[in-house]
Amino acid sequence: MKVLHVESGRYLYGGARQVLYIMEGLARRGVDNLLACPPSAHIAEPARASARVFELPMKGDLDFGLVGRLRRLIAAEQPDLVHIHSRRGADLWGGLAAWLAGVPCVLSRRVDNPERRWVVKLKYRLYEQVITISEGIRQVLLAEGLAPEQVSCVRSAVDAAPYLKAYDQAGFKAALGLAPDALLVGTVAQLIARKGHRHLLAALPQVLARHPKLQLLIFGRGPLEAELRQSISAQGLAEHVRLMGFRDDLPAILGCLDLLVHPADMEGLGVSLLQASAARVPIIATRAGGMPEAVRDRINGLLIEPGDVAGLAAAMNELLDDAQLRERMGQAGRQLVLDDFSVDAMCEGNLAVYRHLLETRKR
């Protein structure tokens, strides 16, 4: 089986890392992987171990020329199917290229933001199967009119191995110049509006009133960085909040956090939630998208309503008050990841969709 994967992201964020996991697992199972990605995309180099990589210009939603570039690649390589993993133009133009070439196309849907029903009706005709990374996203698509037989759920996964370790929290605090008894709260997400950083900053004064030595570490980068810096300064939070930027060494430091907070307004599933759970870090997240599948309320974390600043502050104080509760939830989270979110299960799920699709085509 030969599969052309299309990933238009330039950085190795959660979605692109999932594509790497899938290709590595498929390669071990004998699948011939091809990867189309933008020039200099961060996924390109690590992907070469499990796929032949083709770097093509991918300029976004208005890049109609991507249809021709992908169609020529399909004609040259003759894949059995095309699997599109991201949006940013790749979903529509990639689906159209596969349709014009007469090759079956699968789309991974990683976000839960709704689309207009007429858009769904037209665009999703290009895909013979849509794979959602959470049941929450699947339900969104079904509500928008997709037929149940066209939509499968294969949950995202995380390679837990790098997080199954003992963490040197004291050393990490010392490296940051923090007191040994400082409490560390982190958030790991792109700096974009829907990730809810503003809710976290709004809740922080209520938490600092009870935990004055708390430090908030914001991991990630994005277009809101300057706005966040200004907001942190304007609210007088500079002594308690640090923008850590994008870190490619998260497995070495994530388990040093006492708590991960992810107050997103929308989220497909949340790979950082799975990573934190693997590292035995309890989580506060919202009841949006697929997050309740990754964070089981009162088991490996607490769930609040999106945008509920008071509820967020109360949840943070509850967990920061109780080290034993954090420890219990951390242990439960690790077990949840090992049981329900393994890379092998994700690879087998995608492969099962491919096989069913190709067998149906033969019949």
Nearest to 351 by CA among 83, 52, 165, 49: 83
61 — pLDDT class (breaks 50, 70, 90): confident
> Spelled out in words, what is the top-level CATH class assigned to the domain 161-340?
alpha beta
Asked if 152 and 127 count as a contact pair (C-beta separation under 8 A), the reply is no
- Provide the phi-psi class of 323: left if phi over 0, else alpha when psi is between -120 and 50, else beta: alpha
What is the number of helices (H) and of strands (E) in the chain? 15, 13
Side chain identity, residue 259:
L
Chain region(s) in the chain for CATH 3.40.50.2000: 2-157+342-362, 161-340
Over residues 239-289, the pLDDT tens digits come to 999 999 998 899 999 999 999 999 999 998 888 999 999 999 999 999 998
Sign of CA dihedral 191, 86, 109, 246: negative
pLDDT of the residue at 116: 83
Nearest to 216 by CA among 189, 247, 184: 184
Global pTM reads 0.83
- Average pLDDT estimate for 122-133: 92
CB atoms within 10 A of CB 231: 16
Tokens of 144: 């928008």
Asked if 352 and 131 count as a contact pair (C-beta separation under 8 A), the reply is no
Cα–Cα distance between 323 and 327 in angstroms, integer? 6
When the candidates are 3.40.50.1220, 3.40.80.10, 3.40.1190.20, 3.40.50.2000, the CATH number that belongs to 2-157+342-362 is 3.40.50.2000
Cα–Cα distance between 129 and 135 in angstroms, integer? 15
Please say if the pLDDT value at position 53 is more than 80.
Answer: yes
Q: To which residue do tokens 């599969």 refer?
A: 3
